[in-house]
Amino acid sequence: MRLQDQVALITGAGSGIGRESALLFAAEGAAVAAADVNLAAAEAAAAGIVKAGGRAIAVKADVSQAADCEAMVAAAEKAFGKLTVLFNNAGISHADDDDAISTTEAVWDLTFAINVKGVFLGCKYGIPALHRAGGGSIINTASFVAILGAATPQLAYTASKGAVLSMTRELAAIHARQNIRVNALCPGPLRTELLMKYLNTEEKKQRRLVHIPMGRFGEAAEIAKAALYLASSESSFVTGTEFLVDGGITAAYTTPL
């Protein structure tokens, strides 16, 4: 098993990439603390793990709140004795996110509170726990739009994921000699509820699909497999990266003419 004896805390574990990763990490031997602002969704993910013979707890956590982030780390350590993998995955893409003219301050602030501050707070309280465990892996969910920008305006989301990418690079450099690896997972467009709510018309979907060389949206389970690699010892010499899992979209738009 690729995560035998590891303990993983996954935010946004109630759905999408987070849920798929929680189930996969547990199947690969990890004990999982499934954190989500929707406690019922976190409990369902944890119950699925336990039913399959794994170990899991559910934790209610709004990652924009310091007290919740501190508590979710403490809960993982209390339940399983340590924390070795931190997957800062929780994030939002607001339906009213648009260009600079149309996006409201409220949408901007909410997006940054969850997507950026949430990663910061996860690391603020998670890194000391990884230190106590002797090291580990941090995975921060960014996005391909942090590198390319988005064809459909979503300025707050794009800027927030750029911030996650920059934060990841700096944390990786700071903690590299402390046996803590920090990587940014950059998915391409996925067939998840989060994106499909935003791409809510066929025209919007096609505007995104036309840019993907593979011609389809990715699946959350495919991103979970990439997260598993970054969580495992297989990626022991990998830190500070922007790990793109995007159906070729970035390659298509960064290849010189």
Task: Specify the CATH number for the domain of residue 75.
Answer: 3.40.50.720
For residue 100, pLDDT beyond 80: yes
> How confident is the model over 119-147, as a mean pLDDT?
98
Kindly give, in sequence order, each residue whose CB lies less than 8 Å from that of residue 53, ignoring residues fewer than 6 positions away. Answer: none
For residue 246, pLDDT beyond 90: yes
Q: Please check whether residue 45 lies inside any domain of the structure.
A: yes
Q: What is the reported pLDDT for 242?
A: 97
Q: Please check whether residue 108 lies inside any domain of the structure.
A: yes
Q: Please check whether residue 161 lies inside any domain of the structure.
A: yes
Q: In the annotation, is 125 catalytic?
A: no
Q: What is the reported pLDDT for 198?
A: 67
Burial 89-105 (b: 16+ CB within 10 A, else e): bbbbbbeebbeeeebee
Q: How many CB atoms lie within 10 A of CB 208?
A: 18
Q: Please check whether residue 236 lies inside any domain of the structure.
A: yes
Query: Of 225, 130, 222, nearest to 174 (Cα)?
Result: 130
Structurally, how many domains does the chain consist of?
1
For residue 87, pLDDT beyond 90: yes
When mean pLDDT is compared across 83-92, 103-112, 186-195, the lowest value belongs to 186-195
Q: Please check whether residue 91 lies inside any domain of the structure.
A: yes
Q: Please check whether residue 2 lies inside any domain of the structure.
A: no
Domain hosting residue 75, numbered range: 7-254
pLDDT digits (tens, 9 = 90+) for 2-27: 999 999 999 999 999 999 999 999 99
Q: Which of 125, 157, 229, 253 is catalytic?
A: 157
Query: Of 110, 205, 199, nearest to 159 (Cα)?
Result: 110
